[in-house]
Amino acid sequence: MTTTTFSPIFTVRLRPWLGIASLAAAIVATYMALIWAPPDVTQGDVQRIMYVHVPTAWLAYLAFVVVFLASIGWLWSKKVWFDAVAVASAEIGVLFTGMTLVLGSIWAKPTWGVWWTWEPRLVTTAVMFCMYVGYLLLRSLSSDFERRATRAAVIGVVAVVNVPIVHLSVTWMNSLHQLPTVLRAGGEPTLDGRMLATLLVGVFAFTVIYAYLLAARVEIELDRRRRQEA
């Protein structure tokens, strides 16, 4: 089995540019979130947490969908690159899911009066977090690489079902969490124009950051595999 299937164009040449783009996008997004966007009429400046909370939730979704796709790729081809992408994206997804829960709690305290409540969006997000922590723990249960990767890939394929459940939980069940304000079924976004622009820039910035982290983590994983084979 070889680890040379990962394109050096992505790991060596593209990663530094992703780092520069991540920094630039983060600076622009921070300025827009803290200064350019107006405060919310009802929540005031507390609402600015949305410009980080929503992108971290989006990144969690994206990361776990990538785990799903990479897991299928591993089961289909048994190429090491797919397993490296799966574990890298899972780790990043767990990080951003944890950030989503923490930021959501910070936002909930002044708006709901509590740090945590057992409402559908929070519970399903916490379940998703635990599922992918379990995915990562599963990978440590076997020293055989192919067996470990295959078991993890099966979990990666099955666990993705929770992503749409988390996203749609606010419309399926009676929830304290606010309904979607951007991707609304049969309707236009309800956000102010500057708020919407700031949110979209934040989502873009976090997506670029995710791409940079993924490239860096995959490169580390493949280097580790090369050293083991050597």
Taking only the tens place, the pLDDT of each residue in 37-69 is: 898 777 888 889 989 999 999 999 999 999 999
| Domains of the chain and CATH, by start | 8-229 (1.20.120)
Taking only the tens place, the pLDDT of each residue in 173-196 is: 555 555 555 555 455 556 677 888
Q: Are 37 and 51 in contact (CB under 8 A)?
A: yes
Per-residue pLDDT, 7: 47
> What pTM did the predictor assign?
0.86
| Contacts of residue 44, Cβ cutoff 8 Å, sequence gap at least 6 | none
Rounded Cα–Cα distance for residues 22 and 2 (Å): 31
Rounded Cα–Cα distance for residues 28 and 50 (Å): 16
Alpha carbon of 146 to those of 17, 80, 97, 153, 219: distances in Å?
A: 33, 9, 28, 10, 19
